[in-house]
Structure 1
Amino acid sequence: MNVVDRVKQVIMEPGKAWPSIEGENAGFKDVLFGYVLVLAGISAFGQFLAAWVWGIDSFGGALLGFVRDFILLVAGTFVLAWLAKALAPIFGGRGSFDSAYRLVVYASTAVWLAALVSVVPVLGFLVALGAMCWTIYTLYLGAPVLMMIASKSKTVGYTAALVVSGIVVGLIMAAIFGVSDVGRDDVDVHEDGDHAKVDINLPGMNISVDTGKMEAAQEALEKAEEEGVQAKAMSTEALQPFVPESVADWTRKSFKSTHGNVGMAFSSVEARYTQDGDKRLELKVMDIGAAPVLKMAAAAWSSVTLHQEEGDEVTNIYQADGYAIKEQYRKSGQSAEMAMLLPNGVMVELSGTRVGIEELKGVAEAIDIKGLAGLSRP
């Protein structure tokens, strides 16, 4: 199976991908040269773009970062595989280094690809968070198949051991959040009915992942794939009324609409508003529900809660009224951002300069969110 087909299978149908992978006679060299080098290059390039475009580093510095990240990603797969193989017998499993290597490599697919969109602020965060959660879920599904762990409880324990050891979550944190020190007391993977839940507690950050919600989303995606359903994005005309000329005493100064199908269907409308001279507000309404990869990220987002404080900046991710919500703001009130993912795949983004989070929430309440949530895709 070529790289593109394997990526699609692992991302869209992880439950079916693992038996297929287990049946292949591929050694670690085949996976390294045919898959790892390609995806590690893609991941490192995405991080290079983010560092250069956003001025985090100079072109030369970002290029050196690309080389460093590429080497670390490739080398890291061997360390992760060795630990995965060593831990398996403790939980009644067994497997060769080749099996362990395939497990950690293919389970990390979503994280590697997420780096490509890290250059896009809110969407990049959504995809990165979704990739982190999907990697944990994919690992949980693959452990019984490749490492021959028989019982669900031991699978949960094995997954917990990998995560606690920093094998998966440490790599994800280093790539996405800049955190690499994950200890045994920081991560808890446990059974919750028929599914597993993951709780990650780091200084200033708490994350919870519900694999049950992710499994339901995966099944819905697989059904659509089997039925050959090709979703279409909503028209910009349908979205435009939700970006009015004025909202909550803010006056619209510019407007833009985008609709396309370059690899994936999407549509968006956005506007800029002003108030009291130096206050600025941006409102963007996007239909991301027609793109499978974004559906995956959205499903992961809706299964996660997060609280993080770093200096003056606060980030919250939670669910309310059936919506997945992300807030990021400064306690000083100098800036605030808010994103809401609706059940129909529409995302609303709000960002303000010299605007506090409570004022931004007031603007959100003035938007017809229920009307947006009621829109149907063609």
Structure 2
Amino acid sequence: MNLIERAKNIILTPQKEWLVIEVENTVTIDLFKNYVAPLAAIPAVASFIGMSIIGFSVPMLGTIRLPIIAGISAMVMSFVFALIGVYLIALLIDALAPQFGATKNPAQALKVAAYSFTPAWLAGILSLLPSLSMLGVLAGLYGIYLLYLGLPVLMKVPQEKAAAYTAVSVVCSILIMIVFTMVVGSVGGGSIYGMGAIPTASRTSETAGTLNELEKMGKKMEEASKKMDDAKKSGDPQAEMKAATEALGVALGGSSQAEVVDKDKLKALLPETIGDLKRNSLEGEKSAMGEFKVAKAEARYADENNHQIKISITDTGGSKMFGAMFAWGMMEQDKETDAGYEKMGKVNGRPTHERFQKDGSTGEYSLLVGGRFLVETRGENVDMATIKTASAAVAYDKLEAMKNEGIKP
């Protein structure tokens, strides 16, 4: 087994690769030594570099770095727990098999668990820049799709029960990973305000509902892979680059195809004043990478007493996978420290994220409207009530009315 080829194939052509994996006689220690350990080391090492060497920016405080010893401890524990986690999740998958008409087989369960983690481990390189680490959630969601494809092949679960088997396995696995994350956080500096948002609840039905979108995404990934192979055979570097860019766009944008709302429409939703704060800047932009499209409008407000508000509206182009990147639909959190608090949940059915420092220096309130519009409001030297009032000034109902705009049938 070649690690690079296996990782590439399980991500780009998973349906074919699971059939190859099914008949392999893989020794457990070899699977861990030659595949799991090298890939699991990527997020552990990258996170250490990102948090302890590069550091992360905190408003009013500048760049903060975790102490080296704490960073090393967290890195080692993260790596060890990744290995243990794969093994425990494999035991879980095997134990659940009879409940869904599948065949108990510890060796096959271990393979399906290990290889399903591939995209999440590879995306761990994003932890070099802590601000990008949330993109790893998207890779984790693709891992759910890989699990969904692998269970019928390796565990012989009937296709009609594969979604339920996947959903229950994922929910139970999340509970396992929550415990691990909490332990790592307690050692590696999880007490630092604003770090380590951990889901405290996950909904089986929502996990299962995501699988349809993931399946569409998987089919597009296979199509993108074929285009990459054809471009490679052509020997045209420009064609290869174009195909690779399209594949990345599919991975980021998921299965939805839509034209984003015009940036000027988004700019029009940002008011000229919010209470005593006057708008002093207004910007709009649109960008695209393959099928992944984004439009954004941003405004800044301030008064003479240095009270500041920044509001941004980002249109993800109707991409449900990009919205799922924030995992709000599957997360709840209520965390409080001496420095501040952080909450994740839903308000009027919309996923929300709220964070505030008790000294009133900074705070933010974000929510997802219509499954595609991300409204982010950040404030300095203002209270949370002011931040939420500023957010509501965007007029969520108007955004909601545009949720299907540009989406192709």
Decide: shared fold, TM above 0.5. yes
1:250 aligned onto 2:255 = no
User: What is the deviation of 1:81?
Assistant: 4.0
Partner of 2:307: 279
Give the partner amino acid of 2:64.
Answer: I
User: What is the deviation of 1:180?
Assistant: 7.6
Distance 1:156 1:221 in 2: 13
1:333 aligned onto 2:360 = yes
1:209 aligned onto 2:207 = no
The secondary structure found in structure 2 opposite 1:318 is strand
The secondary structure found in structure 2 opposite 1:207 is coil
Distance 1:21 1:214 in 2: 27
Deviation string 1:351-378 (CA, Å, 9 cap, x unpaired) is 1111111111111222222112222236
1:309 aligned onto 2:319 = no
Distance 1:103 1:372 in 2: 40
Question: Structure 1 pair 218/174, CA: closer, same or farther in 2 (3 Å)?
Answer: farther
Distance 1:30 1:338 in 2: 44
Deviation string 1:291-345 (CA, Å, 9 cap, x unpaired) is 57524324x3123222111223111112223321111113443321000111241
User: What is the deviation of 1:33?
Assistant: 4.2
Distance 2:258 2:68 in 1: 41
1:94 aligned onto 2:104 = yes
Question: Structure 1 pair 216/80, CA: closer, same or farther in 2 (3 Å)?
Answer: closer
| Greater helix fraction, Structure 1 or Structure 2 | 2
Distance 2:48 2:113 in 1: 24
Distance 1:116 1:134 in 2: 16
Give the partner amino acid of 1:207.
Answer: T
Question: Structure 1 pair 155/38, CA: closer, same or farther in 2 (3 Å)?
Answer: closer
Give the gaps of 5 or more residues in structure 2.
57-62, 189-196, 221-254
Give the partner amino acid of 1:214.
Answer: T
Question: Structure 1 pair 208/78, CA: closer, same or farther in 2 (3 Å)?
Answer: closer
1:49 aligned onto 2:50 = yes
- Number of residues of Structure 1 aligned to a counterpart in Structure 2: 341
Q: Is the 8 A contact 2:296 2:315 kept in 1?
A: yes
Question: Structure 1 pair 286/90, CA: closer, same or farther in 2 (3 Å)?
Answer: closer
Distance 2:125 2:168 in 1: 29
Question: Structure 1 pair 155/229, CA: closer, same or farther in 2 (3 Å)?
Answer: closer
The secondary structure found in structure 1 opposite 2:344 is strand
User: What is the deviation of 1:209?
Assistant: 1.0
Question: Structure 1 pair 355/67, CA: closer, same or farther in 2 (3 Å)?
Answer: same
Distance 1:65 1:339 in 2: 29
1:368 aligned onto 2:395 = yes
Question: Structure 1 pair 232/322, CA: closer, same or farther in 2 (3 Å)?
Answer: same
1:106 aligned onto 2:116 = yes
* 1:133-148 superposed matches below 5 A: 146=154
Distance 1:210 1:17 in 2: 30
Q: Is the 8 A contact 1:99 1:147 kept in 2?
A: yes
User: What is the deviation of 1:26?
Assistant: 6.9
Question: Structure 1 pair 147/179, CA: closer, same or farther in 2 (3 Å)?
Answer: farther
Give the gaps of 5 or more residues in structure 1.
11-15, 182-203
Question: Structure 1 pair 247/20, CA: closer, same or farther in 2 (3 Å)?
Answer: farther
| Greater strand fraction, Structure 1 or Structure 2 | 1
Q: Is the 8 A contact 1:174 1:180 kept in 2?
A: yes
1:37 aligned onto 2:38 = yes
Distance 2:299 2:126 in 1: 26
1:240 aligned onto 2:267 = yes
Distance 1:67 1:238 in 2: 49
Give the partner amino acid of 2:311.
Answer: L
Partner of 1:7: 11
The secondary structure found in structure 2 opposite 1:302 is helix
Partner of 2:191: none
Q: Is the 8 A contact 1:171 1:180 kept in 2?
A: no
Distance 1:226 1:105 in 2: 18
1:267 aligned onto 2:272 = no
Partner of 2:84: 79
Q: Is the 8 A contact 2:356 2:363 kept in 1?
A: yes
Percent identity, aligned pairs only, is 17
Which segment drifts farther, 284-293 or 226-235?
Answer: 226-235
Deviation string 1:93-152 (CA, Å, 9 cap, x unpaired) is 63344641441452474376266268465x755x46677788789769867865578999
Question: Structure 1 pair 325/297, CA: closer, same or farther in 2 (3 Å)?
Answer: same
The secondary structure found in structure 1 opposite 2:294 is strand
Give the partner amino acid of 2:203.
Answer: D
Give the partner amino acid of 1:235.
Answer: D
Distance 2:112 2:285 in 1: 40
Question: Structure 1 pair 110/366, CA: closer, same or farther in 2 (3 Å)?
Answer: same
The secondary structure found in structure 1 opposite 2:390 is helix
Distance 1:296 1:9 in 2: 22
Q: Is the 8 A contact 1:248 1:366 kept in 2?
A: no
User: What is the deviation of 1:350?
Assistant: 0.5
Partner of 2:179: 170
Partner of 1:23: 22
Partner of 2:243: none
